[in-house]
Amino acid sequence: MSLPPFPAWQNAASEASFSDPATCAARASKFERTIRRRNLIEYAAGAFVIVLFTASSAGAAFKGEWLIALSMALTVVGAVIVLLGLRRRASNLDRRPEDPCVLHLRRQYERQFEALRDVPKWYLGPLIPGLALFYFAVTLGTAEVTGWVEALRGIAWPVVATIGLFGVIALANWIAARSLRRKIEEIDALA
């Protein structure tokens, strides 16, 4: 019995390539740590925004600046929505014991891809009403003193800078999403 019972299988085995389960587990763990670290930073920044803008809203209301107070309150609501979205859309997935590591990693990549791709909707979008109302309130207050032309000229640069910043954030997240899409395709190519 010196010949293998299924020669075709024996020949194919030399070409087969299997991923090392330990390498996959390390890759998944590293990705999960990256997500956890990113989310902790986002939660800390969100908490800072909530505290700062709540105090600012209260101060503006105390001074009788109701539009400014409302804009700050809307920003607080937007920050809460962003943090809830971060938890719902971009947190780590729980590992399921029945799933192989590579399937879990693919699910993680897919979840983060979708979260990064949709950043303008769930991350930037909730902040826009508060910012828009703030810029309107500042422009309205300035226009009463300097006139509309000067007020609009004065607010133009901050609005353009904010739109540019939001655009850079969206673009950076779309680029990151594309890199995750490539990783998903690599995993799919293994199947």
- Which residues are within 8 A (CB) of 79 and not within 5 positions of it... i.e. 6 or more apart? 46, 49, 50, 53, 126, 127
Q: Which amino acid is at 93?
A: L
Per-residue pLDDT of the chain (191 residues; tens, 9 = 90+): 455 555 555 555 555 555 566 777 787 789 899 999 999 999 999 999 999 999 999 999 999 999 999 999 999 999 999 999 999 999 999 988 888 888 989 999 999 999 999 999 999 999 999 999 999 999 999 999 999 999 999 999 999 999 999 999 999 999 999 999 999 999 999 87
Alpha carbon distances (Å) from 134 to 72, 75, 104, 162 = 7, 9, 43, 12
Model pTM score: 0.83
* CB-based contact 111:93 (threshold 8 Å): yes
